[in-house]
Amino acid sequence: MRRVLLCVLLLTPAAQAHRLDEYLQATLIGITRTGIELELQLTPGVAVLPLVLSVIDRDHNGRISPEEERAYASLVAREVELKVDGAPAVLALMESTFPDLAAMQSGLGSIRIRLRTERTGRQVRFENRHLPKISAYLVNCLADPASKLAIGPQQRDEAQRSILFEYSFGSEVTSRQWLFWPAAVGILLLARTAMLAYRR
């Protein structure tokens, strides 16, 4: 899933064109027959970077240690919620990567956090509650054509902090549907950039 998300964001200029005063949090949801995976890409704008670093750099020494990276990834994991068939799902931290401070200070560095649950069902609800006062959100889901996953209509709140949808595994999914989900992330990022440019 990471390679798909990375390709979409690299091919989409809007991924790097977020506002300087926002913490852009983009979440991609991947569903398989054996579990659900979340990948978050967190990109702080230059103006909000000091606030974000105050949460990450706990000893305020101007450096982010591996321990602080793990602590921050665990904090994010606690502040997002995934429900499967209405019941909270336990999310395990699979991986996290942090850019160097120079990249973050330029507004281009993104933190990536990958979470997973072994829970499966028929309905998924996701909500991101991390740093809402300074954040802008995007959320989408991903389908692997080999899994024959069918995803129903997606209900998002206006801020895209949450999403709700039903899913099932059958024989009617085509590779065309697979192409929709990563493309949708790019479209959402482009739409957000256009909206922000208009607002300015």
Q: What was the pLDDT predicted at 189?
A: 54
The answer to whether residue 200 is domain-embedded is no
Q: Map residue 22 onto helix, strand or coil.
A: coil
Starting at the edge strand found earlier in the chain, the sheet holding 135-142 runs 92-97, 111-117, 35-44, 23-32, 135-142
The answer to whether residue 199 is domain-embedded is no
Tokens of 122: 């028929």
Q: What was the pLDDT predicted at 161?
A: 97
The answer to whether residue 149 is domain-embedded is yes
**108 to each of 51, 56, 59, 143, 155, how far by Cα in Å?**
16, 17, 24, 28, 30
Cα-only R_g, the chain: 17
Q: How many domains does the chain have?
A: 1
Alpha helices for 57-174 (secondary structure H):
66-79, 101-105
The strand pairing partners of 30, in sequence order, are 37, 142
The answer to whether residue 64 is domain-embedded is yes
The residue ranges of the chain whose pLDDT is under 70 are 1-18, 144-145, 171-200
The answer to whether residue 42 is domain-embedded is yes
Q: What was the pLDDT predicted at 193?
A: 54
DSSP assignment of 86-108 equals TEE---EEEEEE---HHHHHTT-
pTM comes to 0.78
Q: Exposed, middle or buried: residue 134 (CB in 10 Å: 0-12, 13-18, 19+)?
A: middle
Compute how many other C-beta atoms are within 10 angstroms of the C-beta atom of residue 110.
Answer: 20
Structural domain harbouring 108: 2-193
Q: Map residue 34 onto helix, strand or coil.
A: coil
